[in-house]
Structure 1
Amino acid sequence: MNLEMVMQELEALGKERLKKMYLSNGAREPLFGVATGEMKPIFKKTKLNQPLADQLYATGNYDAMYFAGIIAEPNSMTETDYDRWMDSAYFYMLSDFVVAVTLSEADIAQDVADKWIVSGEDLRMSAGWSCYCWLLGSRPDSEFSESKLTKMLEQVENTIHDAPERTKYSLNNFIYTVATSYLPLHDKAIAAAKAVCPVEVKSDKGKSKFLNAADNIQKTVERGKLGFKRKHVRC
């Protein structure tokens, strides 16, 4: 399949209700409003295809950009490629759920995420922390440095309340993910969650949302899901 064929199939799957929902969450035109689950039949035709993924991502169409993440070949992308994708990730559903997800399956994931975390840019920082969440929730504990994650937890505890609004979500999720998916630091993550909660996130619409990692950790413990690891990060 080529770019034109994929775009035609995506457009045919678009639904006005989903389009409105995506727009309300920060997406912008152009987009079709495609349910992510309905993209799987197209993936069966394209398979993994990095050149096509780059073409789709470059369209600026939200649905095409999302599908690009599904068919991308993470280890064929360089740090420059990931930075280029981040440059076009204009809201969190792209930064955290397309770019960060794709990066999390690459060998260079931690190196790139570390640079994004210190970038000072809200969406880049959010993507960097989100990438670690995807990594911790899918890779063996042995792939991580306990001392490094300890320092990252301390950083979150010291900075979360002053962080940019979108980054607050990812920092809060990092505490939760360390507590539930990286067992060596379970107790330290719980302590961090209790120390920072609740975390206020301000909205453009005037209402604040309060995040509470400690409550969510407790719910996961009660469900017996400690140590949970995903088999696959991407769809």
Structure 2
Amino acid sequence: MSDMTLAAAVAELDALEDPKMRAANEKRGDDHGMNLSRLRAVAKKIKTDQPLARELWATGDTAPRLLALLICRPRDFSADELDAMLRDTRPPKVNDWFVNYVAKKSPLAEEMRVRWFGDPDPTVDAAAWALTSVRVVKDPEGLDLDHLLDLIEARMKDAAPRPQWAMNETLAQIGIHHPRLRPRALAIGERLQVLADYPTAPGCTSPFAPTWITEMVRRAEAVA
């Protein structure tokens, strides 16, 4: 645990504030003006500090919460704490970091996946699908992949943006890692056309599931 106080940590964050960066971030829905590489440098200096992380999170502000997610200890949060935190992660970057740096690393990840699956709050449902994608890749035993494809086929087209994106990832991962279901995953993606027109930078792979699946399988076969 570090010896940094909440006041000192917030002062360091305030020093990182850049009006131009804030303007760019706000276009993406993130209400902070920090260069994230510089934020990570602050976190690296603090290292892991669960009490400070809790204090930073309790401020309710985006910049302190991002720092909290970098210095916290995921295993120290209870199921109810994880649930409450997720439901309060409205800014996109806070949501993204919470899911990837805390929920996915928690020993309660599977418990939370089940608890959150199908929640009426799109942010919560999206987190369940994100955790499902991890299981599809790393631990598919016990998952009903056919049923997941049924749900994706029925719900993804009209889903809110966050769960739609997360379902699309699950669709792609099923197609990439489970050859038996690849034809169906490709067919669902082609039929629904979700993210087919998503702008993709040169050299990057499109998130459109059929393109994503085909490219990842091609790469795997090239090195086999």
Which TM-score band applies after superposition, normalised by the shorter structure? 0.7 to 0.9
- For residues 216 and 140 of structure 2, the distance between their equivalents in structure 1, rounded to whole angstroms, comes to 22
Partner of 1:194: 187
- For residues 63 and 178 of structure 1, the distance between their equivalents in structure 2, rounded to whole angstroms, comes to 35
Residues 112 and 147 of structure 1: CA distance in aligned 2, closer, same or farther (over 3 Å): closer
- For residues 50 and 168 of structure 1, the distance between their equivalents in structure 2, rounded to whole angstroms, comes to 32
1:158 to 132, 147, 154: 154
- For residues 55 and 193 of structure 1, the distance between their equivalents in structure 2, rounded to whole angstroms, comes to 46
Q: Does the 8 A contact of 1:104 with 1:132 survive in 2?
A: no
1:18 to 11, 18, 21: 21
1:147-197 deviations in Å (ceiling 9; x for gaps): 3344323321221113223211111112123334xx3x2441452243133
Find the structure with the greater CA-based Rg. 2
Unaligned regions of 5+ residues in structure 1, if any? 202-209, 228-235
Q: What's the offset of the Cα at 1:15? A: 2.3
Q: Normalization by structure 1: what TM-score?
A: 0.77
- For residues 18 and 57 of structure 2, the distance between their equivalents in structure 1, rounded to whole angstroms, comes to 20
1:123-151 deviations in Å (ceiling 9; x for gaps): 111122123335656xxx3x332533443
- For residues 37 and 135 of structure 1, the distance between their equivalents in structure 2, rounded to whole angstroms, comes to 29
| Identical-pair percentage | 19
1:222 to 213, 218, 221: 218
SS in 2 for 1:60: coil
- For residues 174 and 36 of structure 2, the distance between their equivalents in structure 1, rounded to whole angstroms, comes to 27
The answer on 1:80 being equivalent to 2:80 is yes
Q: Does the 8 A contact of 2:66 with 2:94 survive in 1?
A: yes
1:3 to 3, 6, 12: 6
- For residues 154 and 132 of structure 2, the distance between their equivalents in structure 1, rounded to whole angstroms, comes to 18
Partner of 1:230: none
Q: Normalization by structure 2: what TM-score?
A: 0.80
- For residues 135 and 51 of structure 2, the distance between their equivalents in structure 1, rounded to whole angstroms, comes to 25
Residues 36 and 108 of structure 1: CA distance in aligned 2, closer, same or farther (over 3 Å): same
**RMSD of aligned alpha carbons:** 2.7
Residues 199 and 110 of structure 1: CA distance in aligned 2, closer, same or farther (over 3 Å): same
Partner of 1:131: 131
Q: Does the 8 A contact of 1:190 with 1:214 survive in 2?
A: no
- For residues 218 and 162 of structure 1, the distance between their equivalents in structure 2, rounded to whole angstroms, comes to 24
Q: What's the offset of the Cα at 1:87? A: 2.6
Q: Does the 8 A contact of 2:169 with 2:209 survive in 1?
A: yes
- For residues 119 and 108 of structure 1, the distance between their equivalents in structure 2, rounded to whole angstroms, comes to 17
